[in-house]
Structure 1
Amino acid sequence: MKIHPVEAGNFKLDGGAMFGVVPKSLWQRTNPADANNMIDMAARCLLIENGDRLTLIDTGMGDKQSEKFFGYYYMDHKFNLDSSLKSLGFSRDDITDVFLTHLHFDHCGGVIQQSSKGDFYEPAFAKANFYTNSSHWKWATEPNDREKASFLSENILPIQESGQLKYIEQSSTFETALEMDFDILFVDGHTEKMMIPHIKVGDKTFVYMADLLPTAGHVPLPYVMGYDTRPLLTLDEKQKFLEKAARENYYLILEHDPHHEIITVKQTDRGVRHDQTYTFKDLLNY
């Protein structure tokens, strides 16, 4: 099995929203803001190459939204799915499976595209199955007012209409997904039933953090996003996960950190803290 980062385009989000109740004087030490209080964000997807199976985890925002929409997020189109896949020797048609950690627009927008004439929406990966879970699907298609702006119908409903939608059903908090080539941790603090992949490559366990840990600056427990629907639950989920990650030396792949691809954490007298930073090339010999 091989894993590769797939950069889908950097953007910016409000620093205060990204750190909730934590004062700017603290979070700006690790995530400096610009004059508009915006901080740098990545959309780092992950490609898993396993035999004849090619699985893409998350897809970034995509490119079908309006210029006005992307303007809110200062979208940088230097990277996109097509160019990143091409650099690895692949194209969209090679993807057999798309695994969506959750259905917020910055994680699933790239799974659906406009038709060539721009008159309807269609899957951007014509030969792939698309994976979510039934609890999160219901949550996303019947959204609460707090999250409604993050669940865009044009990103979600065409997945079902395509006939390519598959559900991964949860039988426990942490389980081996028979449908996937990796284990999954289900968490509920950020949104209902977000899925966190745990991927074994050789003797290493890589964990794709999605929004359980957006950036290296979010490692301290109180550093919880204002976007989270259940912040106290996130606090508990983060603590349990990070203590295990420190104990078992997990390599944490950060989806939203443009400056840290992979980190490890360690236990200190102040709790779990950021330890080492790595690139994919540092850890993987291919």
Structure 2
Amino acid sequence: MKFWSILGNSQRLDGGAMFGNVPRGMWARWIMPDDAGRIPLACRCLLVEGLNGRNVLFETGIGAFFAPKMRERFGVMEPQHVLLDSLRSAGFSHEDIDAVVLSHLHFDHAGGLLSAWEEGKPPNLLFPNATYLVGEECWQRALNPHPRDRASFIAELHPLLEASGRLERVQGSRSPTLGMQVRFSYSSGHTPGLMLAEISGSGADGAGGIAFCADLIPGRPWVHLPVTMGYDRFPELLIDEKRAFLDDMLAKQMRLFFTHDVECASADVVRDDSGRYSTTNEVAELKGVAA
């Protein structure tokens, strides 16, 4: 098994929204904002080559499906489909992917499933040979969103996924498609049923694997328990979920994988004597790293 970090399209979003109730004077020291108060964000995906003989892509980033006006509104920096370019640079195409795992269906995590915007043409579903894995609760939320997060979903995506005949709506901790090497757990502080994937390593009891943190922990600054996003549904619940998740990852010696951290793809989590969590052994990129 080999791990690859695969970049998708990048964004610039309001730093205040990304850091919730953290004062600007603090978060601006962690990530420098531009003149409009926006901070740079990656939309990074994890490719696991040889997972039970399959190429499995965890998330697809925001993609390039937005029309130009919407692309500008949501701070998407590149007009082309960067994920496809990044896969090619790693020696893969989207046709080589056997499964795509989506932590949830917000557009900055699932938009890369769709082809790039072309005027007058509807989007097409990419990854024609892949099974699409979505948590059941996330799926239901996308079908019946709350007014608070309705704009976070892509209306055209759901019928395309259903019509593909390759949609697996995951319930529980395991998937028939992926087998025992991937364990799922769930969080609802950000959005109902956020599906967190742990890919077992080669150590004893699967130790030394990697955990896809999704929007439970978007990057290193959010490892600190009190730091949440303005986009989170229930920040206090998220903090409790984050504490339990980090303690579990420490016990299992699992590395964290960050989707939105521009500078860091993966890191180990540590906890000091006061109980504060932070990261160490930070890696900017994974290029065919053996499990």
Query: Pairwise mapping of residues 104-143 of structure 1 onto structure 2 (< 5 A)?
Result: 104-113=106-115, 118-143=120-145
1:254 equivalenced with 2:252 (yes/no):
no
Return the offset for 1:280: 4.4
Residue identity in the other structure for 1:98: V
Aligned-partner Cα distance in 2 for 1:177–1:17 = 34
Residue 60 of structure 2 aligns to a residue whose secondary structure is: coil
TM-score normalised according to structure 1 size: 0.91
Residue identity in the other structure for 2:186: F
- 2:151 aligns to what? 149
Aligned-partner Cα distance in 1 for 2:66–2:117 = 13
- 1:20 aligns to what? 20
8 Å CA contact 2:270, 2:277 repeated in 1: yes
Runs of at least 4 residues off by over 6 Å: 114-117
Residue 123 of structure 1 aligns to a residue whose secondary structure is: coil
Aligned-partner Cα distance in 2 for 1:196–1:7 = 19
Aligned-partner Cα distance in 2 for 1:151–1:272 = 34
Aligned-partner Cα distance in 2 for 1:230–1:31 = 24
- 2:174 aligns to what? 176
Between stretches 198-207 and 223-232, larger displacement belongs to: 198-207
- 1:67 aligns to what? 68
- 2:45 aligns to what? 45
Residue identity in the other structure for 1:89: G
Equivalent position to 1:278, from 271, 283, 291? 283
Q: What are the Cα deviations for residues 198-217 of structure 1, in whole angstroms up to 9, with x where unaligned?
A: 11232312111110100101
1:202 equivalenced with 2:207 (yes/no):
no
Structure 1: gaps spanning 5 or more residues? none
TM-score normalised according to structure 2 size: 0.89
Return the offset for 1:23: 1.0
Return the offset for 1:14: 0.9
Q: What are the Cα deviations for residues 15-72 of structure 1, in whole angstroms up to 9, with x where unaligned?
A: 1111111111122221221111111100100111125411111111121211111112
- 1:54 aligns to what? 55
Residue 199 of structure 2 aligns to a residue whose secondary structure is: strand
Aligned-partner Cα distance in 1 for 2:37–2:5 = 28
1:229 equivalenced with 2:264 (yes/no):
no
Distance change (3 Å), C-alpha of 1:70 and 1:121: closer
Between stretches 241-250 and 25-34, larger displacement belongs to: 241-250
- 1:99 aligns to what? 101
Return the offset for 1:283: 9.6
Residue 248 of structure 2 aligns to a residue whose secondary structure is: helix
Distance change (3 Å), C-alpha of 1:48 and 1:16: same
1:190 equivalenced with 2:195 (yes/no):
no
8 Å CA contact 1:219, 1:272 repeated in 2: no
The number of aligned residues is: 282
Residue identity in the other structure for 1:4: W
Aligned-partner Cα distance in 1 for 2:45–2:231 = 20
Structure 2: gaps spanning 5 or more residues? none
Aligned-partner Cα distance in 2 for 1:116–1:207 = 35
8 Å CA contact 2:20, 2:229 repeated in 1: yes
8 Å CA contact 1:265, 1:273 repeated in 2: yes
Distance change (3 Å), C-alpha of 1:274 and 1:150: same
Residue 284 of structure 1 aligns to a residue whose secondary structure is: strand
Distance change (3 Å), C-alpha of 1:81 and 1:22: same
Aligned-partner Cα distance in 2 for 1:206–1:3 = 9
8 Å CA contact 1:121, 1:158 repeated in 2: no
Aligned-partner Cα distance in 1 for 2:290–2:136 = 37
Residue identity in the other structure for 1:97: A
Distance change (3 Å), C-alpha of 1:88 and 1:114: closer
